[in-house]
Chains A and B, each alone.
Chain A
Amino acid sequence: MSRFAPIQPSQSPTKGLTDDSYRYGFHTSTDKYAYKSAKGLSSKVVENISFQKNEPAWMRKSRLTGYRVFKDKQMPSWGADLSAIDFDNLYYYLKPTDKEGKSWDDVPVEIKNTFDKLGIPDAERQALAGVKAQFDSEVIYGSIKKMLADKGVVFLGMDEGLKKYPDLVKQYFGSLIPAGDNKFAALNTAVWSGGSFVYVPKNVDVGLPLQAYFRINSPNAGQFERTLIIADEGSKVHYVEGCTAPAFSDGSLHSAVVEIFVKKGATVQYTTVQNWYKNVYNMVTKRARVEEAGRMVWTDFNMGSKVTMKYPGFILAGKGAVGETLSMAMAGAGQQLDTGSKAIHLAPYTSSTIISKSISKGGGRTSYRGMVSIGPKAHHSKSKVVCDALILDPQSRSDTYPTNKVFNSDVTLEHEASVSRIGEEQLFYLMSRGISENEAGKMIVQGFADPLIKKLPMEYAVEMNRLIDMEMQGSVG
């Protein structure tokens, strides 16, 4: 009950996280999968995926290696409790239709309905540059503007990318995040499907952001997309992914791998706005390799999911390379969001900035987990880490786990951390100006998140504010 309203009839418990509050919690029946793998994972399932996709032998081999590593690797011993993930009870591959839809008319009606419910077609077809929408495991609808083609920019589904640019994919695939990196990267290597392949030629500025919309739409459907972005020398690109998932009672697993190569003098920004349903395990490995004078920016917004473990990183491999991570996480009841970033400085005059903000409420838990490593050759490098946590009630929790490894004395390293509780004093101050307790709580949370939200493209910023608004419904007090 509200602390500011001592006399009130009894209220029902906070409903903020129940099913009906989840705007995207609908489910379209899709029995029209062209191919659906059996539940569970075996080398046969893995081979079958490769066969279905008609892949080259090296990819089949890579998948099988991934599967072996996955079987051998232990689950991470730190972070969230992952014991509820039942790898034998998941579908690893779903293929909704035989062909990739070339135009909107080719897209099956049911799938269109799902997009309609998400409000995608109007917003994204008209206003945005290149739309890549992922429906389950295949890219079934995509449109690439002529402009991209004219500039020589390649923006394809990963499967198509492999078919059309096999040499390029072979050269880079798994070279930054090998199967052995971690158990979930290994799993992705074995069963990956979908994701994007982007190549930006030398000195090309893509201009408009490339957008992909991901969506899980089947009970127990793991989504294992694989994205590879290569930004050639002097080029510039902003890639945006937004994620939503509908309501299912069983645990769902999302385990993506994103590899980005930022060549000399290139700039890549990768933005994620995610709102998984609250039973999804979200285990994502993202890494960029940044060459001389290149620049990588991760903007990572994490809402929803039961568990998220995600630490986008960059290897600053060339002189003067710059890496930046801006991340925000919001955890409510039953949620644990363990997020952060990894900055590896290998070359001189490199700099990294990590800004992390988290909000926990209703017993939710957020953690910042980060690593800054400055190697012996990285003289004159600097790193700055700022993490701010906002805790809305005494049941919620936030932790910070920073690791710094410095092998060069000629560097600057800063770390600032702050934890604030939404104070009674802040609420009282705003309320004494005529603003209701609930609205005051929202204002405080949005004010906290605002500096990061400003970095998003407009339509995502609007969506993000709406999500926060929804999550904050009746949650203060």
Chain B
Amino acid sequence: MFKIDNIHVSVDNKEVVKGVALEIRPGEIHALMGPNGSGKSSLAMALMGHPAYILHTPYSILQMDGKDITDKTPDERARMGLFLASQYPVGVEGVTVEQLLRRSVQEILKGPALPRQGRALSDTRIDVLKFRKDLEKLAKKVGVKPELLRRSINVGFSGGEKKRLEVLQMLVLKPKYAILDETDSGLDVDALKKVAEMVKTAKWPNGYKPGILVITHYTRLLKHLQPDNVHIIKDGRIVETGGKQLAERIEKEGYK
């Protein structure tokens, strides 16, 4: 279980998340909705360990499968099985998508044993050709053009390409828990449907289904995702939690 309790986050000495609690179990999809500036993305950044988003300690509780991760660096959290699909994916000149992902997989294999891995922990070798083939296959599924895999990551990519690529990265890295921060923005209708389908059916080869937190301020993604848990965040606090009907109501009535 990914346990978030009494989370307080400050940015530039201003408190933007004021005591959020969520419990996400493997296989569950949670949607976090809220208007602009409600603290959604700040929460996502703090969960992944961005140094500018300061978690108030000691009372903020952040645990993955019973392990406290509040002191962990972003790379350590990633190696433990946490993933963040970035709202604004950053370009890195000269580092190709394939290079980055191969490196990531290698690093993550060095991490603690995860339920998703069907191989010995010490075996961190990667068959480059097989990796490329598997990657291209997955890319096709998500609608990422294979030539993008050999280009510098996120450099000159369209908004939609970047978002699809974030989803592709999740599918490659096979996290235990994933946070998708406004992955829907920038996607056209068809892409949205496809991405929702991939997220909804995400299941790793050993049968493990990741726990997913989807952050959005539109309901259109949720129509396809049909999450069981919808949370409304306003001014840094979760004000309402419900089922998919809640998302429908928000669509009609707005956040008010």
A residues apposed to B, CB below 8 Å: 2-7, 423-426, 428-437, 439-440, 443-444, 446-451
Q: Are B95 and A4 in contact (CB under 8 A)?
A: no
Tell whether B215 is near chain A: CB-to-CB under 8 Å: no
Tell whether B248 is near chain A: CB-to-CB under 8 Å: no
Tell whether B139 is near chain A: CB-to-CB under 8 Å: no
Tell whether B195 is near chain A: CB-to-CB under 8 Å: no
Q: In the complex the two chains form, what is the Cα distance from A435 to B75 in whole Å? A: 5
Q: Are A7 and B71 in contact (CB under 8 A)?
A: yes
Tell whether B169 is near chain A: CB-to-CB under 8 Å: yes
Chain B residues contacting A444 (CB-CB under 8 Å) are: 92, 95
Partner of A425, one of B83, B90, B152: B90
Q: Are A436 and B51 in contact (CB under 8 A)?
A: no
Counting from the closest, the 6 A-B pairs by CB-CB distance are A447-B94, A434-B78, A431-B74, A434-B107, A450-B94, A433-B104
Q: Are B103 and A435 in contact (CB under 8 A)?
A: yes
**Contact status of A4 and B51, CB under 8 A, knowing A433-B173, A435-B104, A436-B107:** yes
> Which single residue of chain A is at the shortest CB-CB distance from B90?
A429
Partner of A430, one of B51, B71, B100: B100
Q: In the complex the two chains form, what is the Cα distance from A5 to B108 in whole Å? A: 18
A-contact 0/1 string along B69-110, CB 8 Å cutoff: 001011101110001101001101111000011011001100
> Which single residue of chain B is at the shortest CB-CB distance from A390?
B93
Q: Are A426 and B90 in contact (CB under 8 A)?
A: yes
> Which single residue of chain B is at the shortest CB-CB distance from A444?
B92
CB < 8 Å A-B pair total: 88
Q: In the complex the two chains form, what is the Cα distance from A432 to B73 in whole Å? A: 9
Cβ distance A9 to chain B, nearest Cβ, rounded Å: 13
| B: interface residue count bin | 20 to 34
A-contact 0/1 string along B101-132, CB 8 Å cutoff: 10110011001000000000000000000000
Q: In the complex the two chains form, what is the Cα distance from A230 to B74 in whole Å? A: 56
Chain B residues contacting A2 (CB-CB under 8 Å) are: 73
**Contact status of A446 and B94, CB under 8 A, knowing A433-B169, A435-B107:** yes
Chain A residues contacting B169 (CB-CB under 8 Å) are: 433
Tell whether B50 is near chain A: CB-to-CB under 8 Å: yes
Can you list 18 pairs linking A and B with CB atoms under 8 Å apart? A4-B51, A4-B73, A5-B73, A424-B51, A424-B52, A429-B89, A429-B92, A432-B74, A432-B83, A433-B104, A433-B107, A433-B169, A434-B111, A434-B173, A444-B92, A444-B95, A448-B94, A449-B94
Q: Are B90 and A443 in contact (CB under 8 A)?
A: no
Partner of A447, one of B74, B86, B93: B93
Partner of B95, one of A3, A424, A432, A447: A447
Tell whether B34 is near chain A: CB-to-CB under 8 Å: no
Tell whether B39 is near chain A: CB-to-CB under 8 Å: no
Q: In the complex the two chains form, what is the Cα distance from A78 to B178 in whole Å? A: 55
Q: Are B108 and A434 in contact (CB under 8 A)?
A: yes
Partner of A443, one of B92, B108, B173: B92
B residues apposed to A, CB below 8 Å: 48-52, 71, 73-75, 77-79, 83-84, 86, 89-90, 92-95, 100-101, 103-104, 107-108, 111, 152, 169, 173
Q: Are A3 and B104 in contact (CB under 8 A)?
A: no
Q: A4-B51, A428-B51, A439-B103 are in contact. List 8 more A-B contacts (CB 8 A).
A: A4-B74, A431-B75, A432-B74, A432-B84, A432-B86, A434-B107, A436-B107, A444-B92
Cβ distance A421 to chain B, nearest Cβ, rounded Å: 13
Cβ distance A456 to chain B, nearest Cβ, rounded Å: 15
Q: Are A433 and B78 in contact (CB under 8 A)?
A: yes
Chain B residues contacting A447 (CB-CB under 8 Å) are: 92-95, 152
Cβ distance B95 to chain A, nearest Cβ, rounded Å: 4
Q: Are A448 and B93 in contact (CB under 8 A)?
A: yes
Q: In the complex the two chains form, what is the Cα distance from A373 to B74 in whole Å? A: 50
Q: In the complex the two chains form, what is the Cα distance from A122 to B100 in whole Å? A: 34
Partner of B73, one of A425, A426, A437, A449: A437
Chain A residues contacting B52 (CB-CB under 8 Å) are: 424
Q: Are A428 and B95 in contact (CB under 8 A)?
A: no
Chain A residues contacting B152 (CB-CB under 8 Å) are: 447
Chain B residues contacting A433 (CB-CB under 8 Å) are: 75, 78, 100-101, 103-104, 107, 169, 173
> Which single residue of chain B is at the shortest CB-CB distance from A450?
B94
Q: Are A451 and B104 in contact (CB under 8 A)?
A: no
Interface centre among B101, B103, B108 (most CB of A within 10 A): B103
Interface centre among B49, B73, B84, B89 (most CB of A within 10 A): B73
Chain B residues contacting A429 (CB-CB under 8 Å) are: 86, 89-90, 92
Chain B residues contacting A4 (CB-CB under 8 Å) are: 49, 51, 73-75
Interface centre among A5, A434, A437, A439 (most CB of B within 10 A): A434
Partner of A434, one of B50, B75, B86, B92: B75
Chain A residues contacting B75 (CB-CB under 8 Å) are: 4, 431-437, 440
Q: In the complex the two chains form, what is the Cα distance from A3 to B111 in whole Å? A: 21
> Which single residue of chain A is at the shortest CB-CB distance from B77?
A432
> Which single residue of chain B is at the shortest CB-CB distance from A5?
B73
Q: In the complex the two chains form, what is the Cα distance from A428 to B49 in whole Å? A: 9
Cβ distance B103 to chain A, nearest Cβ, rounded Å: 6
Cβ distance B126 to chain A, nearest Cβ, rounded Å: 13
Q: In the complex the two chains form, what is the Cα distance from A439 to B104 in whole Å? A: 11
Chain B residues contacting A426 (CB-CB under 8 Å) are: 90, 92
Q: In the complex the two chains form, what is the Cα distance from A2 to B95 in whole Å? A: 22
Chain B residues contacting A435 (CB-CB under 8 Å) are: 75, 103-104, 107
Chain A residues contacting B90 (CB-CB under 8 Å) are: 423, 425-426, 428-429
Chain A residues contacting B89 (CB-CB under 8 Å) are: 429
Q: In the complex the two chains form, what is the Cα distance from A2 to B107 in whole Å? A: 19
Q: In the complex the two chains form, what is the Cα distance from A354 to B67 in whole Å? A: 54
Cβ distance B170 to chain A, nearest Cβ, rounded Å: 10
Q: In the complex the two chains form, what is the Cα distance from A6 to B76 in whole Å? A: 13
Q: In the complex the two chains form, what is the Cα distance from A343 to B61 in whole Å? A: 62
Q: In the complex the two chains form, what is the Cα distance from A426 to B220 in whole Å? A: 30
Q: In the complex the two chains form, what is the Cα distance from A444 to B95 in whole Å? A: 7
Q: In the complex the two chains form, what is the Cα distance from A2 to B76 in whole Å? A: 14
